[in-house]
Amino acid sequence: TNNEIILAIETSCDETAVAILKNGTELLANIVASQIESHKRFGGVVPEIASRHHVEAITVVIDEALEKAEMTMDDITAIAVTEGPGLVGALLVGVNAAKALAFAHDKPLVGVHHIAGHIYANRLVKEMNFPLLSLVVSGGHTELVYMKEHGDFEVIGETRDDAAGEAYDKVARALSLPYPGGPHIDRLAHEGKATLNLPRAWLESDSYDFSFSGLKSAVINVLHNAKQRGETIKDEDLAASFQESVVEVLVNKTVKAAKEYEVKQVLLAGGVAANKGLRKQLEESFKTIDCELIIPPLSLCTDNAAMIAAAGSIAYQKGKFATYELNANPGLSL
């Protein structure tokens, strides 16, 4: 048959994920084995623990994906794998598994950038219409990416310090909430009122860059000062105020860039795309401009291999194959 079947592997952080994708958009299997429970008590991802879990899980998850898709390796056209960025020891497990599979079954190999993957999660929802802009907000990244065509990424803005998700996780930690804290802050924010006046880092007026560490420090200061004065601030109100500040800057810069670059679509990507406040505010703002907003379902926003398969499919179509020299690259740029 002429069907293109991509098996993709993602192990850049704390999820061991394998997906099988037919003809670029038809998802046949999407297995994600999360390690969150093992990292929770450390308040963050412990790299050594992550690597060890990936080693234990990877073949099981590959078999599970093949079983789910009712396929064998003979049915697979090519193997795609996240080559970076991420934790080197974690990435290595996926890269080595992919190379072993490609070698043993004589299949072409494709390396995928993790952020390209997050952006291409949108292709599983809707056909991409160029030029487009993607707001990538995850635990490790906050970027505005402009795309003229498939595989062409121009980062027009990025965080100068903490990523949005990182700020969420740090604020959550200050409130003694479990890791990862983003969803907890999101939940609390909806029960509270944005009564505190927290800073918004707009930076230079012509910049699409972001900064969240000042905001995070402001939250920690507010907590500290209240404690010293014996006052109490409701966690809900603090969460709501923090969330309002983050969302306002993200949405504002995204809308401004969408207009300036005259894009046809804006794609939301990354784990923080799960944020209800962000989704709502973006939807609200895009009602007024002539640009389509695409927000993937939650399962495609957080780390998964379906998105790596979607990006891998484009790379495969373009003939961008990797050799067996493919290596984990923790600092890979887009």
Residue 81 phi, psi dihedral angles, 5° rounding: -150, 145
**Which does residue 274 bind out of Zn ion, ligand KG4, none, counting CB within 5 to 8 angstroms by kind?**
ligand KG4
Out of 77, 136, 303, 313, the residue judged to bind Zn ion by CB under 5 A:
303
Whether residue 198 contacts residue 249, with contact meaning beta carbons closer than 8 Å, is answered with no
Whether residue 3 contacts residue 23, with contact meaning beta carbons closer than 8 Å, is answered with yes
Beta partners for residue 26, in sequence order: 22
Residues in the chain: 334
- Site pattern 123..152 for ligand KG4 (x: CB under 6 A): ---------------xxx------------
**Which does residue 272 bind out of ligand KG4, Zn ion, none, counting CB within 5 to 8 angstroms by kind?**
ligand KG4
Spell out a b/e string for 231-244, using b for 16 or more CB atoms within 10 Å of the CB, else e.
eebebbbbbbbbbb
Whether residue 9 contacts residue 139, with contact meaning beta carbons closer than 8 Å, is answered with no
Helix (H, G, I), strand (E, B) or coil at 231: coil
CA distance 81 to 8: 5
**Which does residue 85 bind out of ligand KG4, Zn ion, none, counting CB within 5 to 8 angstroms by kind?**
none
Residue with tokens 């993200």: 250
Among 62-70, 165-173, 308-316, 322-330, which window interacts with ligand KG4 (CB under 6 A)? 165-173
Q: Is 85 in the site for ligand KG4 (CB under 6 A)?
A: no
Whether residue 294 contacts residue 286, with contact meaning beta carbons closer than 8 Å, is answered with no
Q: Using CB atoms within 10 Å of the CB of residue 160, give its burial: 0 to 12 exposed, 13 to 18 middle, 19+ buried.
A: middle
Out of 85, 94, 111, 183, the residue judged to bind ligand KG4 by CB under 6 A:
183
**Which does residue 182 bind out of Zn ion, ligand KG4, none, counting CB within 5 to 8 angstroms by kind?**
ligand KG4
Binding residues: 114, 118, 136-140, 169, 182, 186, 275, 303
Query: Given the complex with ligand KG4, which of 39 and 99 has the nearer CB atom?
Result: 39
CA distance 134 to 222: 33
Among 35-43, 73-81, 120-128, 265-273, which window interacts with ligand KG4 (CB under 6 A)? 265-273
Among 204-212, 267-275, 286-294, 325-333, which window interacts with ligand KG4 (CB under 6 A)? 267-275
Residues that bind Zn ion (CB under 5 A): 138, 303
- The residues binding ligand KG4 (CB under 6 A) are 13, 138-140, 165, 168-169, 180-183, 186, 270-272, 274-275, 302-303
